[in-house]
Structure 1
Amino acid sequence: MKTIQVPTRDQVSEASQVLFDQLQKRSGKVPNLYATVGYSATALQAFLQFDEQFNHGVFAAKEREAIALVVSQVNGCNYCLAAHTLAAKVRGFNLDDTLAIRRAEVTDGKLNAILQLAKSIAENQGHAESELVENFFAAGYDEGALMELVGLVTVRIFTNYVYALTNIPVDFPAAPVLATAEL
């Protein structure tokens, strides 16, 4: 099987180079996963725009990181678990919080409703358990929030699948492994 390498800036199109430069300026680096998506400027631009739109939605930054963690746990994406564990800590979660989020076992009722539903959506290919949808609505969310949750799950599935297909090097500190019994 062909090994996918993380491209350098010089190995991608001019359009991707512009996006790399924006990422470098904003974050101080171009993460390996983003660089790999950058083999296609269309894919990288679409991903960045789709992801960015959710910064203006109903879910706070901490909630978005929690969704990223639980979906990445479902999909076994070590890259995204590492990146989003670090991001979650920046957003105010501690390591124990991130582990509880990955297990979808948090004490905050609203966050728990979000995580349980996001986990079910990811595990069941969109066919979430109806009880979890009802719990989400009972927690105060509406149909618009449901559509945004599906979008956030979808964004993360995209990156999870890119990593699964490429197994590129993880350039963030590794996230702790959850024991099978913890899931």
Structure 2
Amino acid sequence: MKTIKVPTRDEVKPESQLLFDQVTKHLGMLPNLYATMGYSPGTLKGYLQFEAAMVGGVFTVKEKEAINLVVSEINNCNYCLAAHTMIAKSKGYSHDETIGIRKGYSAENKLDAVVKLAKSITENRGEPDAQLLEAFFEAGYREDALVELIGLITAKIFTNYLYAITGVPLDFPKAVSLENA
């Protein structure tokens, strides 16, 4: 099978080089997964624009990290688990909370409704358990939150699949496996 390597700045088109510079300025580094997206300038640009459009939406930064964690766990994406475990901890989650979220639950009721629904949507390819959808609305979320949740899941599935196919090297501390948690 062909090995997909992480491209250097000189190995991508000028449009991707500019995006690499923007990501590096914003994050202080160019994550390997973003660099790999750079093979397709339109894909990298579209992904970055989609992520930026979701800033300031219905969900808090912490809720978004919970969604990223549970979706990445279901899709067995070691890269995204590494990145989002680190980010989640920097946003105030404890190690135990990140493990619980990855297992599909939270001790906080409203977050639990989000995590459980995100898990069900992902596991069932867009056809969640009706009771979990109802619990999400009963927790106080509205239609805008449901649509945003689907968008966040979709964005994370994209990066999960990109990692699954390319296997780019981790550039974040590896997340502990659930078996060792």
* The two structures share one fold, judged by TM-score above 0.5: yes
Q: Which residue pairs with 1:44 in the alignment?
A: 44
Distance in 2, Cα, partners of 1:52 & 1:111: 22
Q: Which amino acid aligns with 1:76?
A: N
Q: Which amino acid aligns with 1:30?
A: L
Structure 1: unaligned runs, 5 residues or longer: none
Distance in 1, Cα, partners of 2:95 & 2:107: 15
Q: Which residue pairs with 2:87 in the alignment?
A: 87
Distance in 2, Cα, partners of 1:25 & 1:50: 18
Q: Which amino acid aligns with 1:88?
A: A
Distance in 1, Cα, partners of 2:121 & 2:13: 35
Correspondence 1:18-97 to 2 at 5 A: 18-97=18-97
Q: Which amino acid aligns with 1:142?
A: R
Structure 1 residue 21, shift from structure 2 partner: 0.2
Distance in 2, Cα, partners of 1:42 & 1:103: 34
Structure 1 residue 179, shift from structure 2 partner: 1.8
SS of structure 2 residue aligned to 1:59: coil
SS of structure 2 residue aligned to 1:44: helix
Give me the identity figure in percent: 55
Distance in 1, Cα, partners of 2:163 & 2:11: 19
Distance in 2, Cα, partners of 1:65 & 1:145: 15
Structure 1 residue 8, shift from structure 2 partner: 0.4
Q: Which residue pairs with 2:120 in the alignment?
A: 120
Structure 1 residue 105, shift from structure 2 partner: 1.9
SS of structure 2 residue aligned to 1:55: coil
Distance in 2, Cα, partners of 1:62 & 1:20: 26
Cα shift readout 1:72-125 (whole Å, capped 9, x = no counterpart): 000000000000000001111111111011011211000000000000000000
Q: Which residue pairs with 1:142 in the alignment?
A: 142
Q: Which residue pairs with 1:174 in the alignment?
A: 174
Q: Which residue pairs with 2:108 in the alignment?
A: 108
Distance in 1, Cα, partners of 2:51 & 2:156: 9
Q: Which residue pairs with 1:14 in the alignment?
A: 14
Distance in 2, Cα, partners of 1:53 & 1:112: 25
Runs of 4+ off more than 3 Å: none
Scaled by the length of structure 1, the TM-score of the pair is: 0.97
Structure 2: unaligned runs, 5 residues or longer: none
Distance in 1, Cα, partners of 2:144 & 2:105: 24
Give the CA RMSD over aligned residues: 1.1
Distance in 2, Cα, partners of 1:57 & 1:34: 23
Q: Which amino acid aligns with 1:9?
A: R
| Number of residues of Structure 1 aligned to a counterpart in Structure 2 | 181
Q: Which amino acid aligns with 1:48?
A: L
Scaled by the length of structure 2, the TM-score of the pair is: 0.98
